[in-house]
Structure 1
C-alpha cells in the first residue's frame, strides 16, 4: 500500500502546504538577509578600497608637485612677488620654464613661504582657507568639498647639516572630483544593490521551492501513510475488541487465571483505538479534510462548555478534584461543534490527569472585542519553563519519568492546537513547575 501511495504522489505535482509555505518564506528571508549582508559588506570594502586608491594617487600627485615647486623658492624670494608669471621666466617659445609647471592642474594651488612663514608667492586656483600650523605632512580640511593639503619644509642646500629652514611650500587641491567620483560609485552600488536584491529574490524563491519539494513530498507521503494505516488498523482492532467483548459476556467460559489477561487485552485495545483515532484525526486535519463549510455552525460557547464540564465532573470526582466553570459572558462562535467539544474535552482531561487528588480546576469564559477567551487553569504538577515551547508537539509529554504512570498518547494538546488553528484562533500556555498550568484559547466571536 505504501509504495502505491508514493508512486501516486511522485506522479503528481507537489503543492506546498501552508506550513511549508511559511518555512519557504522563512528560508527565503534568511537567504536574502545573508546575501544582502554579504553584498553590503563587499560594496563597503570596494568603496573603501577605491577611496583609498584615489586619495593615495592624489597624495602622490601633491607630493611630486610640492617637490618640484620647492626648487622655485629661490626665484620667488628674489622677486618677492605673489604673481610668479613674469616675463623674465619665459623661455624662447614664450612658455614658463619652471620644473613644476607641467605638473600643476587647474584645481591646485602652490604657495611659497619664507622661513618665518611669510607668504612669498602663489600660483594656481585661489582657495580660501586658513592654516596657522605649518607642521609638515598631509592634512585634510573639513571644507565643502574637503581640501587636501601638503606642507613640505625646504632646508638650506648649501649647508644641509645645519638643518636651517629656508622656507615652506604648501600645495593644496580640492577633492571635489574625488567626491563626485565616489558619489557616482555610491549611486552605482545603490542601483546595483536593488537589482541584486531582485535577482536574488527571484533565484531564492526558485531555490527554496526546489529544495523543499523533496521534503514536502516525504511529508505528504507520511501523512497519507499515517491516515491509511490508521484506517486499515481499525478493522483488526475492531475484530479483537468484539471477540473480547463476546468472551466477557460469557464469564463461565473463562478460566479464572485468564481474567487478568483478558482485561489487559481490553485495556490495550482501547488504548490502541484511541491512538488510531487521534492519528487519523491529525492526518485529516493536516490535509484540511475535517473542516468542510457544511460542518460549521454558529455555536453558543457557554452551553458547549457547560455540557463538557458536566461530563468532566465524573472523572474529577474520582480524584476529589474541584471542577468549576465561570461564564462571564455568552459569546457565539462559528465552528465545528464536534471539534470544539474535542478541543475543550482534551484540555479538561489533560488538567485532570496532571492535577493531584484534592486539587482545583477552574474554567472561565469571557470576551474581548474580537475574541472569546476560554482559560483552563489547574493546580497540577506544572511544566518547566524550558519545556513550554514543546507542549504542543506530537507524542511529547511533560516529565516522562513523572508521567509514566499516567495513561495517554501524547497527542491531546497537538489535536487541541490543530483544532484551534482550523478555527482561526490561538492557544497559549502559562505554567510554573509545582504550581499548575493555564491554557488560554482564543476563538473569533460572531459579531452581530
Structure 2
C-alpha cells in the first residue's frame, strides 16, 4: 500500500513538473510571438506614417512662402484646413465633408496633421483631428499620444522650410492606433485562450506521459520484489531441509554410523544446492555490472560440445533419453571467449533439454557455421513452451511450470545465465518451440577469423579487439 502511494505521488509530481515546464515554455513562446507581432506592426506603422508624412512634407514645402503662414496655397491642398491663429488653443475642422487635398492622403479617418510655427505654437490642423489632444509642441521625432477619451495615437514630427530655405516651423502627422490596438487585443485574446486550451491538453498529456515514464520503473520494482521473493524462497527451501534434518538428528538419543552418514549426505546436498544458487546469483550480478574481468582466449567450440556430450551421456541414458551430437563442419570452430562461461552456456542448455524431455525422447546438439558465426543448436523432443511464455523464459526465477521446475530442482536462473553469457560474447540467442513437440535453442557466436598460420603478433591484437567489443 505504501509503495502504491509512493508511485502515485511520484506520478503526480512528474505530471506537475512536466506541465509546469511545458507551461513556461509555451508562455515564453506566446510572449515571444506577441512581441514579434507587435514589433512587426510597429515597424509597418512607422513606415506608413513616415511615408505619408514624407509625401505631405515634400508637397507642402514647395508652396510655403513665409514662416508660420500657410496662405494662400495651403487651402488648395487642404480645403478643410482650420487656421487657428497665433492665439488659438482649440482648433476645429470647418468643412468635414468638403473635398480633401489634392494628394488624397488624409482622407483616411485615422490620420491628422498639425502645423506649429518656429516658436512651437499650434497654427492649424487638418484631417480628422481628435479632441483633447495635447497642443504643447514636443520636438521629438516619434511620439505616442492620448486624447481626452484615452485613445492612443502615434505621430511623427517633421521640420518645414519656405521656398527660400527659411525655417517655417514644424508639421506633425499622426495616426490613430485604434485599429492597431484592436488587432493586438485580438492577438492577446487568441494567445490567452490558446494557452489555456494548450495547458489543459498538456495536463492530460503529462498525466499520460508520467504513467508511461513510471511504467518501466514500476515494472522494475515489481521485478525486484519478485526476484527478492523468489530468491528468498529458493534459499529457504534448502535451509529448511537442512534445519529439519539437524533437528531430527538432535532428537535422536543415539546415532549409528549409517544414520549419521545419511544425515550428512542430506546436509551436503542442500548445502550444494545453496552454493550453486549463490554462485549463480553472484555471477549474474557481476555480469550486470560488467565488472567481471574475463580472460578471453581462443576456444574450440567443437571440443567443448564434444566434451559436454560425453559428460552428460550417462545422465541422459539414466533418464531414458538419447543424447547425440551432429557436427556439420569438417574443421574445428574457434571463437574468442571465456572457456568456463562457454562450458556453462552449453551445459545449461543441454541439461535443460534433458530435464524437460520425457523418457524415450531425444536431445540433439547441432554444430554448424555461417559466414561469420559458429552456430550451435540444442534441439529436444520435450514438452515444449507455450508461445506466450517465450518472451519471459529468460527472466530470472521465471518458470513456465513451477511444479515441473520443482521436480527437476531448477531455480529458474539457467536460461538467464545463458542469455547473459551470449550477450557477453557478442552473440545471438534464439528459441523456437511448439507445445508438446519440443524446443530448439540456437546460439550464434562470432568466429575467430585469425589465420591458422598467423604470426605471434597478429593473434594478440585480435584478442584485444575482441576484448574491446566485449566491454
Please indicate the TM-score interval, normalised by the length of the shorter structure.
0.3 to 0.5
TM-score, with length taken from structure 1 = 0.45
TM-score, with length taken from structure 2 = 0.43
